[in-house]
Amino acid sequence: MAIELTVPSVGESVTEVEVGDWLKNVGDPVRKDEAVVVIETDKATMEIFAPADGVVGRIVQPKGAKVSVGDVVGYLEPAAAGGVPPSAPPPKQAAAQATMPTATPPGASAASASEPRVMPAAARVLAERAIPAAAVTPTGPGGRMLKEDAERVAPSPPPTAAPAAGAVPPPVPAAAGRPEEVVPLSLIRRKIAERLLAAQNTMALLTTFNEVDMSAILRLRAQFQDKFQERYRIKLGFMSFFVKGVIEALKDVPALNAEIRDQSIVYRNYYDIGVAIGGGRGLVVPVLRNAERLGLAGIEQAIADFAARAKDNKLTPAELTGGTFTITNGGVYGSLLSTPLINAPQSGVLGMHAIQERPVARDGQVVIRPMMYLALTYDHRIVDGREAVAFLRRVKELAEEPARILLEA
C-alpha cells in the first residue's frame, strides 16, 4: 500500500504553504527520514521526510502549488512491495488528478503486464507530443518509463497555434546572446517584499548614525578568545556585545522596545532580540527569546545554532516570529554604511557595519583606530529624535567600554 506524504503542521497561524523543490524524482529510492520535498511558508522553509524506506511513486502537487496542512503532496511505494499508489486519492486531490493525463497515451490500448509502467510526467510528454509508448525505451527502476525517456524520442514539442484575437501573446524570446531567466518569487521572498513595503508605507522612518571605536572589544576578544572557546566550544564574536549593549540601551529608551497597536502604544518589559542572518532562501531574522537572561556565551551559541540551521532551511516558523527589536550586521558582507529597514511592527533596528581602520582624533592627536559605523532606523511616530540619539550614544558607550556591560553601568 502506498505511503502518503502529507503537509505537517508548521505553526498555529499557518494554514497554507507552498510546495518548493522536490528533492527526489518519481522512481527515486528514498531512505526513512530522508528529505523528499521542501515546503515554504511566509516565514520559513522546511522539509517533508520519508516515513519509511521506499520509492517515490507519484508526485501529486508540483513545485509552486498552494496546499494546506494535512494535504497529500505525493506517495511513496514501500521498498519491498513496489506496488502502485492507491486508486482512490483523497477528496482534496481528486479534482487535480482529474485533469492529469492517464498513464496510457490517447489512442493506445490498455497496458498489458509486459508493457512498461509509464510515470505521470512521462505520460504528459507522450500525450503532448503524440508519441506511442511502444516507441520509448524505459530506463527507470523496475522498467518504469521516465519523463527523460519520452523527451529523448521527441525533444522538441510541436509548434503552438497562433493566439486567438484579443488573447495575450506569449512573451517574445530574448535576442541571441541576451538570455533571460524567469523565476517565480518564493512565498518567503514575497512575504519579505510585502513586509518591507508595508513598513515604508505605514511608518515614519528616520535613520540616525554614529560611529564606535572597536579597540576595546577587539582587545578583550584577543585576550580571552582561547579560554572562552575552550570553555564554551564557540568563538567570542562581536554580536553578543551588541546584543547586551542594545538591551541596556532599550532599558533607557523603552519606546524603541515598544510597538503601536491600534490606537495604543504597547511597551514590552522583556527583550526578544531578532538577529538578521543570511539563510538558504534569503535573509531571515530568528529571535533570541528573553535575551536579557543570556550571557555572552549563551548569545553566541544561540546565534551559531541559528546560522547553521538557516543555511539548511531548518529554522521553524516559531523561531522567526515576534521580536521586540532587531540587529542586522551588513559588515559581514563588507557594507560600510546603510539605512536598515524596520521589521514591522517593531519600532527600531540597529545596523552594524564593517570595521575599518580610520584616522581619528584622540587627546589632540591623530591616531588610527578600528572604527565601525552604527545606524539606527526608528519609527518617528513613537520615538523622538532625542531618544534615538540617546539610544545610539548608549550603545556606543557600552561598546567602547564593554566592562560596563557586565557591571550594567
Domain boundary among 110, 139, 157: 157
Are 351 and 375 in contact, with CB atoms under 8 Å apart? Answer: yes
Q: What is the pTM of this model?
A: 0.65
Name the 3-class secondary structure at 162. Answer: coil
Q: What is the mean pLDDT of each run of 10 residues along the chain (409 residues)?
A: 83 74 89 87 79 89 86 84 44 44 43 59 75 78 74 62 56 71 77 79 93 96 94 94 97 96 94 88 88 95 93 84 94 93 93 96 96 97 96 97 78
Regarding whether 199 and 122 lie in a shared domain, the answer is no
Distances in Å between the alpha carbon of 191 and those of 6, 41, 199, 308? 24, 9, 12, 22
Regarding whether 112 and 86 lie in a shared domain, the answer is no
Regarding whether 378 and 301 lie in a shared domain, the answer is yes
Tell me, letter by letter, the H, E, C secondary structure of 19-63. EEEECCCCCCEECCCCEEEEEECCCCEEEEECCCCEEEEEECCCC
Are 311 and 346 in contact, with CB atoms under 8 Å apart? Answer: no
Regarding whether 387 and 265 lie in a shared domain, the answer is yes
CA–CA gap between residue 6 and residue 27 (Å, rounded) = 19
The total domain count for the chain is: 3
Regarding whether 296 and 320 lie in a shared domain, the answer is yes
Helix (H) or strand (E) holding 18: strand 16-22
Regarding whether 336 and 212 lie in a shared domain, the answer is yes
**Does the active-site annotation cover 384?**
yes
Backbone torsions φ then ψ of 33, nearest 5 degrees: 70, 15
Q: Which of these is catalytic: 28, 53, 305, 380?
A: 380
User: Facing residues of 118 across strands?
Assistant: 145
Quick count: other Cβ atoms within 10 Å of Cβ 7? 21
Amino acid at 137: T
The answer to the question of residue 173 being in a domain is no
Supply the CATH number for residue 57's domain.
Answer: 2.40.50.100
Q: What is the pLDDT, as a whole number, of residue 340?
A: 94
Q: Which of these is catalytic: 21, 226, 252, 384?
A: 384
Regarding whether 295 and 197 lie in a shared domain, the answer is yes
Helix (H) or strand (E) holding 267: strand 264-267
Regarding whether 127 and 69 lie in a shared domain, the answer is no
Supply the CATH number for residue 283's domain.
Answer: 3.30.559.10
CA–CA gap between residue 5 and residue 86 (Å, rounded) = 13
Are 141 and 55 in contact, with CB atoms under 8 Å apart? Answer: yes
The answer to the question of residue 171 being in a domain is no
Domain boundary among 113, 137, 157: 157
The answer to the question of residue 106 being in a domain is yes
Q: What is the pLDDT, as a whole number, of residue 231?
A: 95
Q: Which residue has the cell 564593554?
A: 402
The answer to the question of residue 271 being in a domain is yes
CA–CA gap between residue 402 and residue 214 (Å, rounded) = 10
Are 93 and 71 in contact, with CB atoms under 8 Å apart? Answer: yes
**Does the active-site annotation cover 71?**
no
Q: What is the pLDDT, as a whole number, of residue 276?
A: 93
Q: Quick one: how many helices (H) and strands (E) in the chain?
A: 9, 21
Domain limits for position 203: 187-407
* Closest of 310, 290, 308 to residue 299, by C-alpha: 290
Regarding whether 146 and 52 lie in a shared domain, the answer is no
Q: Which three cell numbers stand for residue 392?
A: 545610539
Question: Cα dihedral sign for 98, 99, 100, 103?
Answer: positive
Regarding whether 216 and 343 lie in a shared domain, the answer is yes
Regarding whether 328 and 201 lie in a shared domain, the answer is yes
Task: Estimate to the nearest angstrom the gap between the alpha carbon of 277 and the chain centroid.
Answer: 10
The answer to the question of residue 255 being in a domain is yes
Residues in the chain: 409
Q: What is the DSSP letter of 177?
A: T
Regarding whether 2 and 133 lie in a shared domain, the answer is no
The answer to the question of residue 391 being in a domain is yes
Domain boundary among 83, 100, 117: 100
The answer to the question of residue 224 being in a domain is yes
DSSP codes, 194-217: HHHHHHHHHS-EEEEEEEEE-HHH
Distances in Å between the alpha carbon of 301 and those of 120, 235, 288, 294? 47, 9, 11, 10
Are 312 and 327 in contact, with CB atoms under 8 Å apart? Answer: no
The answer to the question of residue 347 being in a domain is yes
